[in-house]
Structure 1
Amino acid sequence: MHGSGVLSVWERSSTARVVPPARPRKLAKVPFVELADGRLQGVVSSGSDIGRVYVSSVEAGTYAFACSTNNNRPCGGARGTFCNHIRALVGEAVLQYGVERVARYLKAEVDAEEPDADSVTAVMAATRPAQGDRSAAAQVFSRFLRHLAYLELDPTTDPLPEMQWFPTTRAAA
Structure 2
Amino acid sequence: MNADATAWEHMPERMWERSSTVRVVPPVRPRKLAKVPFVELADGRLQGVVSSGSDIARVYVSSIAAGSHDYNCSTNNNRPCGALRGSPCKHLIALVEEAVLQYGVERVARYLRIDAGDDATTGVDLILLLKGGHQKTAGAMVFSRFLRHLAYLELPVTTAPLPEMHWFPATGAVR
Partner Cα distance (2:156, 2:23) in 1: 17
Equivalent runs, 1:112-127 vs 2, <5 Å: 112-113=118-119, 115-124=121-130, 127=131
Distance 1:132-1:157 versus aligned 2 partners, 3 A rule:
farther
Task: List alignment gaps of at least 5 residues for structure 2.
Answer: 1-6, 8-20, 168-175
1:24 maps to 2:30:
yes
> Is 1:107 matched up with 2:150?
no
Q: How does 1:134-173 map to 2 (within 5 A)?
A: 134-135=137-138, 137-163=139-165, 166=167
Distance apart, 1:17 and its partner CA: 5.9
Please say if 1:87 is aligned against 2:93: yes
Number of aligned residue pairs: 151
Greater RCO, CA 8 A, separation 6+: 2
Deviations 1:32-90 (A, max 9, x none): 00000000000000000000000000000111001000111000011211000000000
1:36 paired with 2:38, answer no
Paired residues of 2:105 and 2:120 also in contact (CA < 8 A): no
Counterpart for residue 12 of structure 1: none
Q: Residues 73, 24 of structure 1: CA spacing in aligned structure 2 closer, same or farther, 3 A cutoff?
A: same
Determine what percentage of the aligned residue pairs are the same residue. 65
TM-score, normalised to structure 1's length? 0.80
Q: Secondary structure at the match of 1:146?
A: helix
Normalised by the length of structure 2, the TM-score is: 0.79
